[in-house]
Copies of this chain bind each other. A is one copy, B any other.
Amino acid sequence: MKKIAAELGVSAMTVSRALNNHDNVDENTKKTIVETAKKMGYTPNRVAKSLVSSRTYTIGVVIPEISHAFFAQVVSGIENVTYEKDYQLLLTNSAEKFERENKALETLLAQQVDGILVSCSEETTDFSLLKRIIDTGKPLVFFDRCVEGIGASTVSVDDRNGSYNMTQHMIDHGYKTFAYLSGPQISTGKERLEGFRNALKDNKLDIKEEWIVESGFQEKGGYEAMKKILELPGDKMPRAVLAVNDPAAIGAIEAIEEFGYSIPDDIAITGFSDDIRARLLKCPLTTVYQPSVSIGRKAAEKLIKVIENKDEPAENIDLLTDLVIRQSCGCNK
């Protein structure tokens, strides 16, 4: 900018005004300045601008695992909105680790992001840093793995309800003995397990605690948890398995097949999230559809509202889930 000013013998201020289309700049001067800027290959320095305005137009995102299809889709939804509203996206990965999540948050703050979108890691049970950030007034919105009641808005699906409906669906089709592959006991995982328990309770069915095994959110955990169940002593086996999400279900399917059982005839199984793989499986997976892109969009939209209007109230936004009945539950013959 100074160079342009020097080149044309005007002040930097005039250049600034011309390039930002402010009032009271002579049309000719403006034209010359704009042309010279183009000719000299001027690129505005947002860092400097940010320092003055204390606005970076940047949103920080903390994701538990980028390469997971679900989160990739959420990010894509977030990006849709930030693109529309001219914000930038600073992406960080907690790799499901509490420590890394905290470090990521600190970094985002240091970067002076205008707001933060967080989905908690599997390990996160201590919300003190999150709470502190919210208390300072820094706009923050949770998505998917949310912490409710600490002052920030949340965007997720009604996990308990989705899980309840899926369980009810199975019960309606005559299944009586269930195993459950549970996630870690944070928001989403907890809610889904509760939905499962409630459905069984409401139908006066027994809950066999041995068959509720923590698998976590990933294939490997699902595989191992399922194996553990199949290896339990005694010859009783659950007739149906509900998994906390599709990756866990996909892992479990591998274990079930390894043991020589057939899906859904020996063991029926269902997932949660409608992963892109679900419909393509050899035995297509019955699952609960979660509007991943919408979750991202809603979360980003809410965050930007909070950023642009500090009085925007906090709210818990629940999107609707849908049962996607395919073959793995054995219900649609």
Which residues in A have some Cβ–Cβ distance to B below 8 Å? 41, 43-48, 50-51, 56, 58, 65-69, 72-73, 75-76, 79, 83, 88-93, 100, 106-107, 109-112, 132, 136, 250, 276-277, 280-282, 293
Contacts and interface: CB of A to CB of B under 8 A. Distances in A.
Contact of A276 (B76, B91, B277): B277
A75 B66 contact: yes
B79 A91 contact: yes
B110 A43 contact: yes
Contacts of A109: 43
A58 B60 CA distance: 13
Copy number of this protein in the oligomer?
2
Contacts of A41: 132, 136
Nearest to A284: B282
A90 to B, nearest CB: 6
Contacts of A48: 51
Nearest to A104: B83
B50 A47 contact: yes
Contacts of A89: 90-92
Contact of A83 (B51, B68, B69, B93): B93
Contact of A66 (B46, B47, B79): B79
B46 A111 contact: yes
Contact of A76 (B66, B132, B250): B66
A76 to B, nearest CB: 4
A273 to B, nearest CB: 14
A293 B93 CA distance: 15
A255 to B, nearest CB: 15
Which of A46, A73, A250, A282 has the most chain B CB within a 10 Å cutoff?
A: A46
Contacts of A111: 46-47, 58, 88
25 contacts: A41-B132, A43-B109, A44-B110, A46-B111, A47-B51, A58-B111, A66-B72, A66-B75, A67-B69, A67-B73, A67-B75, A67-B293, A68-B72, A69-B69, A69-B72, A69-B276, A79-B92, A83-B93, A88-B90, A89-B91, A90-B90, A91-B91, A276-B276, A277-B280, A280-B281
A172 to B, nearest CB: 28
Given A66-B79, A67-B293, 10 more contacts: A41-B136, A45-B112, A47-B47, A47-B56, A58-B111, A69-B72, A75-B91, A88-B111, A89-B90, A280-B282
B88 A107 contact: yes
B110 A46 contact: yes
Contact of A280 (B44, B56, B76, B280): B280
Contacts of A112: 45-47
Contact of A277 (B43, B46, B277): B277
A190 to B, nearest CB: 27
Contacts of A276: 69, 276-277
Looking at A58, A67, A72, which has the most chain B CB atoms within 10 Å of its CB? A67
Nearest to A138: B43
Contacts of A56: 47
